[in-house]
Amino acid sequence: MILLFSIICAVAYLGLTLFQALYVWLYSKRMNQTPRLGGQHCFDGHVSVVLCLRGSDPSLSACLNGLAQQSHHDFQLYCVVDDETDPALAEVQKFAGQFRVPPQVLAIEQPGSSRSLKCSALLTAFDAITRNDTNSEVIALIDADTSCDSDWLQDLVTPLSDPEIDATSGNRWFEPADDALGSWVRQIWNAAAVVQMALYGIPWGGSLAFRRSLLQETDFRDRLERAFCEDTLLSDVLLKEGRTFYTSTQLVVTNEESTTLPATSSFIHRQLLTTRLYHWSWFWVLLHGISIFLINTATVIGLVMAIAMTAWLPAILFLSSLVVSQLANMALLGWIGRINRRKMEVRRGHEKLISPAGRSQLGYLLAVLASPWVHSWATLCTLFRSRVHWRGIDYRVHSGQVEMLEYRKFSARPSINQSIE
Report the chain (421 residues): mean pLDDT per 10 consecutive residues. 91 95 95 65 88 90 94 94 89 93 92 94 96 90 92 93 93 87 93 94 95 95 96 95 92 90 94 95 94 93 92 92 92 93 77 60 84 93 92 91 90 46 50
CB atoms within 10 A of CB 8: 14
Report the predicted TM-score, pTM, of the whole model to 2 decimal places.
Answer: 0.91
Domain architecture of the chain: domains with CATH = 1-33+46-421 (3.90.550.10)
Supply the pLDDT for residue 39: 47
From CA 230, how far away is CA 141, in angstroms rounded?
A: 10
Report pLDDT for 417: 40
